[in-house]
A = this chain, B = another copy of it.
Amino acid sequence: MMLDQLLRPEIQELVQQGQVTLLREVLKDWDPAEVAALLEALEPEEDAVVFRVLPHELATRTFELLSSDKQQDLIDHLAKDQALLASLLNNLSPDDRTELLEELPGPVVQQLLRLLSPEERKVATTLLAYPPESIGRLMTPDFVQVRAEWTVAQALDHIRATGKDSETLNVVYVVDDKLRLIDDLRIRQLLLSPLETRIADLMDERFIALRPRDDQEKAVEAFRLYDRVALPVVDREDTMLGIVTVDDVLDVIEEEATEDIHKIGGSAALDEPYLTAPFFSLVKNRAGWLVLLFVGEMLTASAMAHFEAEIARAVVLALFVPLIISSGGNCGSQATTLIIRAMAIGEVGLKDWWKVMQREAMSGLLLGVLLGAIGALRIGVWEQIFHLYGPHWPMIALTIGISLVGVVLWGTLAGSMLPLALKKLGADPATASAPFVATLVDVTGIGIYFSVAALLLTGTLL
């Protein structure tokens, strides 16, 4: 007796009990032929569950061995028994689930997506286990496939017959008998060629394809680079799964810019439109960062306390604290937003860090000298007019000027390097939001300012 017959009752029990992890453990080393025999023998409600937990390699090879009736049956049940599958899968911890749910074989995914209504398809992403923000979630199965050996006339007839539900007819996809993508053709190539031309003669076998598990940002990048209106999505074996159309990508671009802008402004990204977002989720999104920044800013009080004696001796020093730290903060915000955006649109990458550092060091120095000169000048002028700062005003002016150079230079460097550092650590660079840099620079700016003051004013004012 074969393995599949021996163990069939046990396997049916595992299925009934929803023991999917154990089920996979049992089946993962079986021969595809044995699994195929098992599936052929199982009830339709059961085979879908068993098939779903098979490792990708095994599932693919098993599927090829099934009778075409069973194949169709399986796909129907995968589509219909979502509720059963979902309830089974929801009992797993998220980690287990991701590990368990490997990609289904490409032809199964394609069929599955076509069977589902657009609403069902959203639910099915659980079933297909494409992560949120992944290309798989954008994909539609409604596209036209043609074969290399057809003529243009045959292809156009095929389009006329089957293209009704296709999301776009602007691009058609050439696939082989295993549904593997071999080329994409713009409809213009078909429209501009004599009807008797072979599809194969139009092909250059060069195409850009997306992967369903890649981040949606990859799709954005590809659309920007290749000026297409649709791009194909394929699995590891190059089997066509679906397409992504440009209108969905427009929305992604906007959402990503919004997300970045919110983060730069120091909120968590808001998913809903401002006016319709529930009030408390709006406040919650903002409160988190604000509290964090506030706790960070508390260090300014500690830093100031550290120099309390100096302030008591020379109150005039306290007057310039806001001016100095905010200048550092402004320069830091500027540098941060420039670099975050340059990274978001692919102009700057990690490898450019040294170039960025050089540019920002020079910029920071120049801007610091500029602001420092204005600041020192301002003290001189005010002294002449209002006589506010006493006999030591030139040294005060010098202190302010030099502190500004230091704070601005430091703010600029910190602001430009932080997004790169976050990226390096695998975090989202936009989270180095401008207020965060400002907070960092506020605290350190106080230290820079009072250190310069101690150096220059000890013996006179201090």
Contacts and interface: CB of A to CB of B under 8 A. Distances in A.
A253 interface: yes
A224 B257 CA distance: 15
A301 B323 contact: yes
A6 B391 CA distance: 84
A294 B331 CA distance: 10
A75 interface: no
Given A297-B326, A304-B322, A333 B266 contact: yes
Interface stretch (A13-21, A103-111, A235-243, A312-320): A312-320
Interface string A141-181: 00000000000000010011001101011100000000000
Given A192-B163, A229-B229, A331 B290 contact: yes
A contacts with B: majority SS: helix
A50 interface: no
A311 interface: yes
B442 A279 contact: no
A359 B304 CA distance: 35
- Residue with the highest number of chain B CB atoms closer than 10 Å, among A257, A345, A347: A257
B279 A160 contact: no
Contact of A334 (B186, B188, B266, B308): B266
Contacts of A462: none
Given A223-B250, A253-B253, A323-B301, A261 B435 contact: no
A122 to B, nearest CB: 18
A212 interface: no
Interface stretch (A36-44, A60-68, A88-96, A268-276): A268-276
A330 B266 contact: yes
10 contacts: A169-B188, A224-B254, A253-B253, A265-B341, A266-B334, A291-B371, A294-B323, A297-B323, A297-B326, A298-B323
